Amino acid sequence: DTAVSQTPKYLVTQMGNDKSIKCEQNLGHDTMYWYKQDSKKFLKIMFSYNNKELIINETVPNRFSPKSPDKAHLNLHINSLELGDSAVYFCASSRPGTYNSPLHFGNGTRLTVT
């Protein structure tokens, strides 16, 4: 029944490792996003895909690479993890046209880099 699901919920790893977070939505939405909750608890957009095509790519280190195998999935791969990457990452989806369609969020992945 879960509309937007992301795994894992918690991820603890060491500096320098490579890790992935997976996201899947069963709402039939064309647009998917990755948000990062920063240290001040703000939600900041990282990436947005529309029907597997990258449409938003904010100023994010190129160690972060999104991959969308199909429009129901948007995974986030992070290379060479750094301490500053520790945060909560949220996946979301919406119908096309971001300004008048509400976002549906996953439950977040808390990444801790030690």
Partner 1 sequence: ILNVEQSPQSLHVQEGDSTNFTCSFPSSNFYALHWYRWETAKSPEALFVMTLNGDEKKKGRISATLNTKEGYSYLYIKGSQPEDSATYLCAVKAAGNKLTFGGGTRVLVKP
By the criterion CB under 8 A, which residues form the site for partner 1? Answer: 4, 40-45, 48, 56, 58, 90, 98-108
Measure the CA–CA gap between 17 and 40, rounded to whole angstroms.
25
Please identify, using beta-carbon distances, which residue of 86 and 98 lies nearer to partner 1.
98
**CB 99, min distance to partner 1, A:** 4
CA proximity to 23, closest of 106, 103, 85: 106
Please identify, using beta-carbon distances, which residue of 13 and 101 lies nearer to partner 1.
101
Signed CA dihedral, 68, 74, 77, 81: sign only = positive
Please identify, using beta-carbon distances, which residue of 35 and 113 lies nearer to partner 1.
35
**CB 16, min distance to partner 1, A:** 30
Measure the CA–CA gap between 84 and 29, rounded to whole angstroms.
31
